[in-house]
Amino acid sequence: MIGRRVASVGEIEQPGDYCGPVKGYTGDLEACFFLKPNARDEGVPPRSVQHVCFPPHTYRECPDGSLEIRASISNLLRGDTTGQSDDGWHGYLDEGHVWRQV
């Protein structure tokens, strides 16, 4: 899926939208907020806007204005040791606003 980078967290509206890095939501850490590509798919546990923090994740500002995020973006909610929050999407945000599932 080709997503889009928006200017603020409040502008995240559709699957693939993302914003960041921003500060002020996760203490002193920068974060990227997003709706995963499958966030509104039928049969997927309901998801609101999610985020990853830097660190432990890392990011790279790309020449085309997109953001690349490493390590992978998990399919489980933080702290889930049972797998009950599995939303079926695990992958990366690549250069070009590309959401890549693995």
Q: How far apart are CA 68 and CA 93, in angstroms?
A: 5
The residue behind tokens 């660190």 is 55
Cβ-based neighbour number of residue 44 at 10 Å: 14
Long-range contacts of residues 45-49, Cβ cutoff 8 Å, at least 24 apart: 45/85, 45/86, 45/87, 47/87, 49/9, 49/12
Domains of the chain: which residue ranges? 4-101
* pLDDT on residue 13: 95
Q: How far apart are CA 60 and CA 46, in angstroms?
A: 29
How much is the pTM? 0.91
pLDDT per residue of the chain (102 residues) written in tens, 0 to 9: 999 999 999 999 999 999 999 999 999 999 999 999 999 898 877 678 999 999 999 999 999 999 999 999 988 877 888 888 788 899 999 999 999 999
